[in-house]
Structure 1
Amino acid sequence: MKEEPSQNIENDDLYEHHRFVASDGQIPLRVDKFLMNFIENATRNKIQQAAKAGNILVNDVVVKSNQKVKPGDIVRVVLAYPPPENLLVAENIPLDIVYEDDTLIVVNKPAGMVVHPGHGNYSGTLVNGLIHHIENLPTNANERPGLVHRIDKDTSGLLVVAKTEFALAHLSKQFFDRTTERLYYALVWGNIEGDEGRIEGNIGRSLKNRLQMAVFPEGDFGKHAVTHFKVLERLTYVTLVQCKLETGRTHQIRAHFKHIGHTLFNDERYGGNDILKGTTFTKYKQFVHNCFKVLPRQALHAKTLGFTHPVTGKFMQFDSEIPKDISDCLEKWRTYSEHSKEIEEQ
């Protein structure tokens, strides 16, 4: 067995505290006993309570305390609070700055960059770069300097960051009051019915998988969430949509579209990295896997961001280009779709 460096769980309220990989010689052993052997000062009761709360995962699946650990299994313990040693360090990280003044800064975050540090991932985040670029960023209640909102690690796109306490409060209220404008582009599996629509359903942490958010349409759990969408392009087995957020819940677009049967393309956490639509032909399967290689993350981009400037009172709107990995994937699907139409017309 070896313990590997932990990584934060992006855009989430859980923090990874331990990550173990069972050795090749590991005999099948209950996960609670397995963890007791390697976590200092752990008790059987504490581990069992963590399992009961859904905070122990084996190979990214929530397990009970009697789950058997086998060779090669990845065992993780995630808890709802950050480790105490989580410190912010300024780093000279290149930032794609779209706009900046004395009050705020708008950045275009690339896919793969975590927004703020978490346990096991203290460096290379957007916040690390921001505190190097800007001195004395205001801190919100969650100790995240300047952050008004967040996007997932593997989602690209626009973020606004406050440079003053007043701007932080003003912008935060705009997001709370839902007066901001946020438009996302998403490539989803399947051919969506209708040219536009509205998805409504409470979003909360999944009761089956703590790393996912789930939709609770009866409103008995989670927080109210609404996503509006408009179809931009139909590409045979996938659809390009524009999403307008009425609310801003964790993984909102990802969870909502999975709920209606149109999981985001190559969204590994929600099952979009499987071939969910299409044919059984080997060539088609190879085509999709080639698309996955071109776009090795969920097909989601925060394209447009609008808000009222805290000082001038002017409504400002920013737009970003679709990143190359998504545009390259779209071109592949356009070529495939045109070829499919030609075959049908013959």
Structure 2
Amino acid sequence: MQEPQDRRVVLDLDAQAERIDRALARALPDVSRSRLQDLIRTGQVSKDGIVVLDLSLKVGAGAVLDVTIPAPVDATPVAETLDLVIVHEDDDLIVIDKPAGLVVHPAPGHDAGTLVNGLIAHCGESLSGIGGVRRPGIVHRLDKDTSGLLVVAKNDLAHKGLTAQFADHGRNGPLERAYLALTWGAPEPRLGTIDVELGRSQRNREKIAIMRPGEGRTAITHYVVEEILDAGTEVALVRCRLETGRTHQIRVHLSHRGHPLLGDAVYGNAFKTKAARLGASARASLEALGRQALHAAILGFEHPRTGEVLRFESPIPPDMAALISALRANDRS
């Protein structure tokens, strides 16, 4: 097995200040600029001993840049037998009820044990060549710690048909995606739409941020507050329907409105102290949840071959159900 490469670049004393990715591309011509940008985003580059995540950081004369280039890995995911919860399967597609904690497709740090690895073992050669080597059959995804329904294409016809539906966001067809979320506080009004553009944060490339109009991607979430579960802290059960499907969309939209998801360490960390106001049982259930309280409960679409409208529902998983029950009980002992 090959070992990672450590490369050091010391900029000339007369070097002009420029973006770090450009400086590295100039100094390391054997590594593509896009590859260097990926390395920066994943924390593999440091300046003067401090990790850099910002592609636009300016560096100049005398800067010492260290780059770790991970050892190459097999580009083709290997088959792994996983205990998949299959809701529906036919010759063209498969619908999975994904548990929280399962990564959808291989990525840096997650080259094995993903849903794709399990699908390759389950579906065999039918997935090859559809949607790219690392994401065969994948037409949409769920965050690692979000549970619920996901459809995967098993052949090119299905992949093209499903991709078109997701790209259209259900405007001209029956595509339906609904999620259940637990939020700190209840959004006002109790039924409404959040229409705010999203884009990659310039401060932290691992996060999605609210963008000014015209500077991000359109993102629209329709929501309704279904129940207030704990009057003391006003935890709400909120149903969200996606009109678009951007990365972290529900989590960022609700946090932007001041109502982040329970358990969301990325977009709701400022609300972490609110847990102390919950009852003992609810506090224990939230700690046991260990993730954002978000579940993809409904998925509907048109079958790409038959034209039949398929609609699936997933029950709230046990970890979220336990938290909801504890919040309803309102035990403050």
Equivalent of residue 325 in structure 2, options 311, 331, 341: 331
Quickly say closer, same or farther: Cα 1:118–1:261, change in 2 above 3 A: same
Q: Does 1:145 align with 2:136?
A: yes
Unaligned runs of 5+ in 2: 12-18, 24-36, 52-65
Alignment partner of 1:209 is 2:198: no
Q: Note if contact 1:82-1:119 (Cα within 8 Å) is conserved in structure 2.
A: no
Is residue 156 of structure 1 aligned with residue 147 of structure 2?
A: yes
CA contact 1:227–1:244 (8 Å) conserved in 2: yes
Equivalent runs, 1:46-125 vs 2, <5 Å: 49=20, 65=47, 85-125=74-114
Count matched residues.
289
Matches within 5 A, 1:150-299: 150-179=141-170, 180-216=175-211, 218-235=212-229, 236=231, 237=233, 238-272=235-269, 274-275=271-272, 277=274, 284=278, 289-299=283-293
What code does the residue aligned with 1:300 have? L
On the 8 A contact 2:187/2:257 being kept in 1, the answer is no
2:57 equivalent in structure 1: none
Report the secondary structure of 1:310's partner residue: coil
Distance in 1 (CA, whole Å) between partners of 2:135 and 2:71 is 12
What amino acid is aligned across from residue 248 of structure 1 in structure 2? G
Unaligned stretches of 5+ in structure 1?
1-17, 19-37, 70-75
Contact 1:87–1:122 under 8 Å retained in 2: no
In structure 2, do the counterparts of structure 1 residues 239 and 252 end up closer, same or farther at CA, with 3 Å as the change threshold?
A: same
Q: Report the CA distance shift for 1:121/1:86 in structure 2 as closer, same or farther (over 3 A).
A: farther
Q: How far apart, CA to CA, are the structure 1 residues paired with 2:115 and 2:73?
A: 20
Q: Is the 8 A contact 1:187 1:300 kept in 2?
A: yes
- Deviation of 1:63 after TM superposition, in Å, equals 11
For 1:109 and 1:68, how far apart are their aligned partners in 2?
Answer: 37
1:56 Cα shift? 5.3
The 1-side partners of 2:286 and 2:315 are apart by 20
Deviation at 1:270, TM superposition (A): 1.5
User: Match for 1:49: what amino acid?
Assistant: I
Alpha-carbon separation, structure 1, partners of 2:273 and 2:228: 16
Normalised by the length of structure 1, the TM-score is 0.74
The separation in 1 between residues aligned to 2:225 and 2:110, in whole angstroms, is 37
- Sequence identity (%): 43
1:303 alignment partner in structure 2: 297
Residue type at the aligned position of 1:122: D
Partner of 1:41: 7
Match of 1:4 in 2: none
Query: Which amino acid counterpart does residue 8 of structure 2 have in structure 1?
Result: A
Query: Is the Cα contact below 8 Å between 1:190 and 1:277 reproduced in 2?
Result: no
Aligned CA distance change for structure 1 residues 44 and 274 (closer, same or farther; 3 Å): farther
Deviation at 1:128, TM superposition (A): 0.3
| Structure 1 residue 143 displacement after superposition | 4.0
Task: Provide the rounded CA distance (Å) in 2 between the counterparts of 1:77 and 1:332.
Answer: 48
> What is the Cα-based RMSD across aligned positions, in Å?
3.5
Task: Name the SS for the 2:137 alignment partner.
Answer: coil
Distance in 1 (CA, whole Å) between partners of 2:138 and 2:290 is: 27
**Partner secondary structure for residue 316 of structure 1:** strand
Change (3 A) 1:120 1:192: closer
* CA-CA distance at 1:273 after TM superposition: 7.4
Tell me by how many angstroms 1:83 deviates: 5.6
